[in-house]
């Protein structure tokens, strides 16, 4: 099957360094998520005044909203070092024990995708989070011995895109839990202006508004589209990103007025033209568009559902009347009605 990924979902290794450069360094520089910023500021300031490590922090929400940036900011605000790992890398308890034993008092440990931590490592994490201690098992079988090992007080900052997949014992050990929300277009315009200043891009207000409207409520996607439109502006225009240049550049990269890309439209087209609007299983849709089922389910569906164009039902995926109209087709009389209006409906 094809492994091509849409511009809104692909992670180009060449862009990683740029994405790092665009990350805010302090809480005052972080745009959006006003409620989370206020709560986090109180947590950090309270810990500073007490001279103690702050409570463990769980950041949940869809990809690209700034969870990793906030983890880096927490360490910077505390003046602490940060150790970074991910759930899939912690397959054994020994993997986690090696990391924990090397922490210095006040360090921040960031675990991305914590819902994918293996169960043995997760059980070790319980004790480390509560008592700053781990039990290391030496030997095997009847002769195995458990040796308690004290670790330095630290703050765990964890990120997850699937908070529901966390076990209750793990979730309950976090003192502060924040859920990241999708951004509104005006907030994304602020993100784009800041990024344009760092990149030295001549971004006009109407160009910023156009890119923001097609960024799926996600700063990471907004910054990625900004870099692609910058390429278009420098090669095929005078370097300035105006409304016309933004529209032309985004058209080249197959990003339409709602932010749907090639794969999104392929999924909708298959649902509507091949399967009459559904219901149909995700595996069948994936075969029709030449992609893996996981790609369709994890990359395309969340946005299509949020945009009110696709519904998940017990019998399968169904295209709504909005999906038919977006493809410039007349919905059948029995098409699934549009859901509650969203911020995308005005487009």
| DSSP conformational letter for 320 | B
Q: Taking a C-beta distance cutoff of 8 angstroms, is the pair 322, 341 a contact?
A: no
CB 73 within 8 A of CB 120: no
Which DSSP string corresponds to 144-155? Answer: -EEEEEE----E
Report CA-CA distances (Å) from 76 to 24, 44, 65, 169, 302.
11, 11, 19, 29, 32
- CA–CA separation, 300 vs 314, rounded Å? 19
Active site residue 340: no
Q: Which of 112, 173, 264, 295 is catalytic?
A: 112
Short-list 251, 192, 270, 198, CA closest to 224: 192
Single out the residue of 315, 303, 317, 325 nearest to residue 275, CA to CA: 317
Assess contact for 199 and 230: CB atoms under 8 A: yes
State yes or no: is 173 an active-site residue: no
Query: CB 131: neighbour CB atoms within 10 A?
Result: 11
Question: Of 214, 216, 220, 265, which residue is the catalytic one?
Answer: 220
Marked catalytic residue, from 160, 161, 242, 295: 161
Which of 283, 293, 276 is closest to 336 using CA atoms?
A: 276
- 140 part of the active site: no
Beta strands in the chain (DSSP E): 57-60, 82-86, 108-112, 133-138, 145-150, 155-160, 176-179, 202-203, 240-241, 310-313, 316-319
Q: Determine whether 295 is an active site residue.
A: no
Say whether 68 is catalytic.
yes
3-class SS of residue 327: coil
- 3-class secondary structure per residue, 201-257: CEECHHHHHHHHHCCCCCHHHHHHHHHHHHHHHHHHCCCEECHHHHHHHHHHCCCCC
Beta bridge partner(s), residue 86: 112
Residues that are catalytic: 67-68, 112, 161, 220
């Amino acid at each position: 099957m094809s492994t091509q990924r849409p511009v809104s979902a692909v992670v180009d290794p060449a862009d990683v360094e740029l994405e790092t450069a665009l990350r805010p360094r302090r809480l005052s520089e972080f745009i959006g998520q006003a409620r989370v910023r206020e709560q986090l500021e109180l947590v950090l300031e309270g810990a500073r005044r007490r001279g103690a490590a702050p409570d463990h922090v769980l950041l949940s929400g869809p990809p690209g909203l700034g969870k990793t940036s906030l983890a880096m900011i927490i360490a910077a605000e505390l003046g602490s070092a940060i150790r970074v790992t991910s759930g899939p890398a912690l397959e054994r308890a020994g993997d986690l024990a090696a990391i924990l034993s090397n922490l210095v008092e006040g360090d921040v440990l960031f675990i991305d995708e914590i819902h994918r931590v293996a169960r043995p490592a997760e059980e070790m994490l319980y004790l480390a989070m509560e008592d700053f201690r781990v039990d290391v098992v030496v030997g095997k079988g009847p002769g195995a011995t458990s040796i308690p090992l004290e670790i330095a007080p630290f703050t765990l900052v964890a990120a997850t895109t699937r908070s529901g997949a966390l076990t209750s014992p793990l979730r309950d050990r976090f003192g502060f839990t924040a859920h990241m929300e999708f951004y509104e277009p005006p907030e994304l315009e602020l993100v784009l202006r800041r990024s344009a200043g760092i990149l030295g891009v001549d971004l006009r207000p109407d160009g910023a508004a156009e890119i923001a409207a097609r960024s799926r409520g996600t700063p990471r996607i907004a910054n990625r589209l900004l870099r692609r439109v910058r390429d278009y502006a420098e090669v095929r225009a005078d370097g300035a990103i105006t409304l016309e240049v933004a529209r032309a550049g985004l058209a080249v990269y197959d990003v339409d007025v709602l932010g749907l890309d090639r794969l999104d439209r392929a999924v909708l087209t298959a649902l509507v033209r091949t399967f009459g609007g559904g219901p149909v299983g995700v595996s069948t849709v994936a075969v029709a568009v030449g992609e893996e089922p996981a790609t369709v389910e994890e990359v395309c569906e969340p946005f299509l559902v949020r945009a009110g164009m696709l519904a998940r039902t017990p019998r399968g995926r169904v295209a709504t009347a909005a999906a038919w109209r977006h493809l410039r087709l007349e919905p059948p009389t029995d098409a699934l009605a549009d859901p509650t209006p969203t911020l995308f409906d005005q487009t």
